[in-house]
């Protein structure tokens, strides 16, 4: 009879050892790549910046309306700089409109479930041609100012890049915070939003993939090459390894190392890539520095996490 407590003790020891072994084999990312330690509310507040970016970038170019035109009182703040109605084909316009409108529902659900009150303060967005050109200038390593410039609103191929970029930030952040969200309502909310956004990202990547061999006017290279260069730039700015990938990749980045087709990017086991707050800020600011605003957020992001990053001067 004494054997039973003994067995329990043995099992407990085993369980303890296996957690020890797990802890030992999971390598922590370097400090500049780790997620910020923050509350669930702060994480939702952080993601609102990118949700608002996505909605404004999808609705203004597709139907010439902003968040407050569709659902007054949800947000308050400056109108985005440089939005234009985009020259999209009808099918793409419908799709972009739908995804933009869906974002408004997500915004409302976040306000309803978490402790964030409407109106949500909007960050100053810059979605002008000039802001997007900063990325292109960096991609092409181009210091001359006089080259043909990238205009995301000029045609469907060009717009899809800007749209995929905005959706990608959201997906990578959802993947990053999902494991640490506290509260059943909050977890259900986040998985509902994240699964929807993964669908959006996949649909947009599939649209880009259908155009992989077409050129992106006024440039001379194809959608495939530009996706690859854009991914390289994002990885370079974020400084935490390869987490953005092109549509056509070397075999070692393809699923099971067996294909060069890469409509949906993923890690060695095709799991979604996660990015931390600072990684995303380094890319969206275009400066590679989370305390140096620029690019799509010329005055920086709103919320407690970006404020702390600024105060601590974390790059």
Ligand X SMILES: *[C@@H]1O[C@H](CO)[C@@H](O)[C@H](O)[C@H]1NC(C)=O
By CB under 6 A, residue 207 contacts ligand X: no
299 counts as binding ligand X under rule CB under 6 A: no
Pick from 284, 133, 112, 266: nearest CA to 201: 266
Specify the stretch interacting with ligand X by CB under 6 A; choose among 46-54, 62-70, 170-178, 205-213.
205-213
Q: Which stretch, 22-30, 60-68, 114-122, 249-257, contacts ligand X (CB under 6 A)?
A: 249-257
Q: Does 229 bind ligand X (CB under 6 A)?
A: yes
249 scored as a contact of ligand X (CB under 6 A): yes
Please report whether residue 117 would count as binding ligand X according to CB under 6 A: no
Start-end of H helices in the chain: 3-25, 40-63, 67-70, 90-113, 129-139, 156-177, 184-210, 223-238, 277-284, 304-311
Contact 222, 210 (CB under 8 A): no
Q: Output DSSP code: residue 297.
A: B
Cβ distance 207 to 160 under 8 Å? Answer: yes
Shortest Å, Cβ 276 to ligand X? 16
Answer whether 301's CB lies under 8 Å from 292's CB: no
127 binds ligand X (CB under 6 A): no
Q: Please, what is the minimum distance in Å from the beta carbon of residue 154 to ligand X? A: 17
Q: Is the peptide bond before 119 cis (omega within 30 degrees of 0)?
A: yes
- How many residues line the site for ligand X (CB under 6 A)? 29
Q: Which of 33, 101, 104, 109 binds ligand X (CB under 6 A)?
A: 109
Answer yes or no whether residue 289 interacts with ligand X by CB under 6 A.
yes
Query: With binding defined as CB under 6 A, does residue 94 bind ligand X?
Result: no
Q: Which is nearer to ligand X, 124 or 289 (CB)?
A: 289
**DSSP of 120-180:** EEPPPPB-SHHHHHHHHHHHTT---TTS----TTSSHHHHHHHHHHHHHHHHHHHHHHGGG
The answer to whether 291 contacts ligand X (rule: CB under 6 A) is: yes
Q: Which is nearer to ligand X, 19 or 259 (CB)?
A: 259
> Cα-Cα-Cα-Cα dihedral of 212, 243, 308, 66, to 10°?
20
The residue at minimum Cβ distance from ligand X is 246
Interface contacts to ligand X, rule CB under 6 A? 90, 108-109, 112, 140-141, 210, 212-213, 220, 228-229, 231-232, 242, 245-246, 249-250, 252-253, 256-257, 268, 289, 291-292, 313, 315
């Amino acid at each position: 009879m004494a054997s039973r407590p003994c067995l329990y003790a043995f099992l407990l020891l085993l369980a303890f050892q296996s957690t020890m072994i797990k802890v030992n084999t999971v390598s922590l990312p370097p400090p500049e790549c780790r997620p910020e330690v923050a509350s669930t509310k702060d994480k939702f507040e952080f993601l609102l910046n990118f949700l608002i970016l996505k909605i404004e970038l999808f609705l203004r170019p597709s139907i010439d309306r902003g968040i407050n035109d569709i659902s007054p009182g949800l947000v308050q703040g400056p109108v985005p700089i440089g939005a234009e109605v985009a020259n999209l084909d009808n099918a793409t316009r419908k799709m972009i409109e739908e995804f933009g409108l869906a974002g408004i529902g997500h915004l409302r659900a976040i306000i309803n479930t978490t402790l964030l009150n409407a109106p949500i303060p909007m960050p100053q967005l810059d979605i002008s041609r000039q802001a997007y050109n900063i990325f292109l200038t960096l991609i092409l390593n181009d210091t001359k100012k006089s080259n043909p410039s990238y205009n995301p609103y000029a045609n469907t191929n060009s717009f899809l890049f800007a749209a995929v970029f905005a959706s990608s930030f959201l997906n990578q952040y959802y993947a990053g915070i999902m494991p640490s969200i506290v509260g059943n309502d909050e977890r259900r909310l986040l998985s509902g939003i994240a699964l929807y956004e993964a669908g959006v990202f996949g649909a947009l990547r599939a649209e880009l993939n259908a155009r992989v061999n077409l050129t992106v006017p006024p440039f001379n290279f194809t959608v495939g090459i530009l996706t690859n260069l854009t991914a390289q730039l994002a990885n370079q700015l974020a400084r935490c390894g390869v987490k953005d990938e092109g549509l056509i990749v070397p075999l070692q980045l393809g699923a099971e190392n067996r294909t060069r087709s890469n409509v949906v990017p993923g890690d060695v086991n095709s799991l979604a890539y996660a990015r931390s707050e600072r990684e995303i800020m380094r890319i969206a600011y275009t400066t590679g520095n989370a305390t140096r605003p620029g690019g799509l957020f010329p005055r920086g992001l709103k919320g407690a996490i970006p404020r702390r990053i600024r105060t601590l001067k974390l790059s």
